[in-house]
Amino acid sequence: MNETGQKKKNKFLYIGTVCAIILFSFLYYAPCNFWDYSSDQAIHVLMAKTFQLPRDFYYWGQNRLGSLLPMVASLFGRVFPVHTLYICSFVQYAFLFTGFYLISTQLKSPLLKIAICAVIFMPVNEYIYLVELGHPYSSQLFAGSIFIYMCSALRKYLLANRQFGLKQLLISVLLSFGSSFFFLVGIWVSEFNAVLVLIPMIFILKEKELRTIILERFRNIYFIIFELLLLVLFISTLHFYKLIKANGLEDEAYNKVFLDNAQDIGKNVDFFLARLKASLLFTDPHPFENFFNWYLIIFSGIIFVILKTNKRVQKSTLIYSLLVVCTVSTIMLFCSIWNLRSDFRPRYFTPVYIIFCFILLLFADQAYFKKYAKFVVSLLFVFFGVVYCYSSSISKKFLAHLNCMVNIKNYQEEQ
* pLDDT > 90 in the chain, percent: 17
Report in angstroms the alpha-carbon separations of 89 from 20, 134, 169, 181, 270. 17, 12, 39, 24, 38
Q: What is the mean pLDDT of residues 87-100?
A: 93
Residue 90 has pLDDT above 90, yes or no: yes
Q: Which of 20-29, 70-79, 268-277 has the lowest mean pLDDT?
A: 268-277
**Is there a contact between 35 and 397 (Cβ–Cβ < 8 Å)?**
yes
**Is there a contact between 338 and 332 (Cβ–Cβ < 8 Å)?**
no
Residue 105 is which amino acid? Answer: T
The reported pLDDT for the residue numbered 356 is 92
How many Cβ atoms from other residues are within 10 Å of residue 342's Cβ? 14
pTM of the model: 0.85
The pLDDT confidence band at residue 22, using thresholds 50, 70 and 90, is: very high
Residue 66 is which amino acid? Answer: G
Residue 411 has pLDDT above 50, yes or no: no
Convert the pLDDT of each residue in 105-161 to its tens digit: 989 889 999 999 999 999 988 888 898 887 889 999 999 999 989 888 888 888 777
Convert the pLDDT of each residue in 271-314 to its tens digit: 888 888 888 887 777 778 888 888 888 888 888 888 777 766 66
Calculate the average pLDDT of the chain: 81
Give the number of residues written for the chain.
415
The reported pLDDT for the residue numbered 96 is 95
Residue 114 is which amino acid? Answer: I
Residue 56 has pLDDT above 80, yes or no: no
**Is there a contact between 37 and 98 (Cβ–Cβ < 8 Å)?**
no
Q: CA 152 from chain center: how many Å?
A: 17
CA dihedral (329, 333, 336, 340) in degrees, to 10, reads -170
SS3 58: strand
Q: What is the mean pLDDT of residues 156-182?
A: 78
The Cα–Cα gap between 58 and 79 comes to: 23
Convert the pLDDT of each residue in 219-270 to its tens digit: 667 667 766 777 777 777 777 777 766 666 665 555 667 777 788 788 878 8
* pLDDT > 70 in the chain, percent: 85
